[in-house]
Structure 1
Amino acid sequence: MIPVLRNAEANDLRAITALYGREVEGGTATFETSPPTLDEMSRRFAAVKGHGLPWLVAEVDGRFAGYAYASPFRPRPAYRYGVEGSIYVEETARGHGVGRALLIALIERSREMGLRHIIGAVSDSDTSAASIALHRSLGFREAGVYRQVGWKFERWLDVTLMQLDLAPEGDPPRTPGLDLTGGLA
């Protein structure tokens, strides 16, 4: 399986919404408990694109295999150089390099934008060893763990925060950063 990556388009939103909905209903990568509608996912897509941030789709053999996007890390102006990365991969495509390809592309795009940090919030630390290992293999370091902060599927879940410093030399920003006035819904 060799994933082909491209910018997400509005016509990808049905597949994106379906994949995310399955994760909401059966997984722990998100703490949402009710799948968002196509209209809601369209609003989220527009908000990410409105910030000029990447939203990518992976295809394998011409079929949708997953997606990734960057969103503002926090709404306060001092955070405008950081984003949170989110990645979702179809179950049949997991373990075949799709997540790695998406994360590498997200890193490259964020670095090109002059951003400073990418934060990964890996839910359910107990069963997400592969995601944590993927982040570590690409230079992310553990920044902390929120212990038992989510209640889903009748159990408490941790969130491991992973952080990648895109400009470890610490130079001042070379861009104005994200415009956070619009915010995400």
Structure 2
Amino acid sequence: MAIVFRRAQPADLNKIVAIFNESVDLPINDEVELITPESRREWLASFNDDYPLWVADDGGNVVAWCGLEPFYPHPAYRFSAEISIYVGQAAQHQGLGRRFLAFVDQQIRTGLPIKSVVAYIYQGNQPSQGLFKAAGFTYWGTLRHIATLNDRLHDLLIYGRTY
């Protein structure tokens, strides 16, 4: 894989949505139906220089994406971000998630105004927990029975990292 990490462009939206939709059927996903590019246009436009969205580009093919979004819409939290990362099924288990999180870490350390990053991970999502632990995130707490997925209550784990 000759991966280049770059800022997402509007032309990447279809592939970003397709990667997200690969996870819809997993038992640990918020969504119960496929999303559409049209439903995510405004979301894509909301990213900016302080809270970017990146893609992992493998020779012109987007294989993963990662975004930083405002943690909470209050000025006191302006230096905090929530992180999301999705790796396409064909690119999983090749170390791409770790490389992507290392890239994001470098971006934060060299210029983004972010001081804290929070990741929300469902308790049953062991691969994501391992990925974030390996990237230097620590367990910050649990929101017990916060989500109902497939008619079952689930805990949401909070992992975080400060800079």
Matches within 5 A, 1:68-147: 68-111=66-109, 112-123=111-122, 125-126=123-124, 128-147=125-144
Alignment partner of 1:161 out of 142, 158, 163: 158
Superposition TM-score, scaled by structure 1 size: 0.79
Where structure 1 has 5 or more consecutive residues not aligned to the other structure, the ranges are 167-185
* 2:18 matched residue in structure 1: 18
CA apart distance, 1:61: 4.6
Equivalent position SS for 2:19: helix
Q: Larger relative contact order (C-alpha < 8 A, sep ≥ 6)?
A: 1
Where structure 2 has 5 or more consecutive residues not aligned to the other structure, the ranges are none
Amino acid at match of 1:137: A
Listed one character per residue, the Cα deviations across residues 82-108 of structure 1 (whole Å, up to 9, x for unaligned) are 000100011121111111122122222
C-alpha contact 2:29 2:149 (8 A) present in aligned 1 = no
Listed one character per residue, the Cα deviations across residues 20-47 of structure 1 (whole Å, up to 9, x for unaligned) are 1232x31255413333321221100111
CA apart distance, 1:120: 0.7
Q: Hey, what's the Cα distance between the residues in 2 that align with 1:62 and 1:157?
A: 38
Pair 48,165 (structure 1): closer, same or farther in 2 beyond 3 Å? same
Equivalent position SS for 2:50: coil
Q: Which has the higher strand share?
A: 2
* 2:54 matched residue in structure 1: 56
Amino acid at match of 1:119: V
Q: How many residues align?
A: 162
CA apart distance, 1:18: 1.6
Q: Which runs of 4+ in 1 moved over 3 A?
A: none
Superposition TM-score, scaled by structure 2 size: 0.89
C-alpha contact 1:3 1:97 (8 A) present in aligned 2 = no
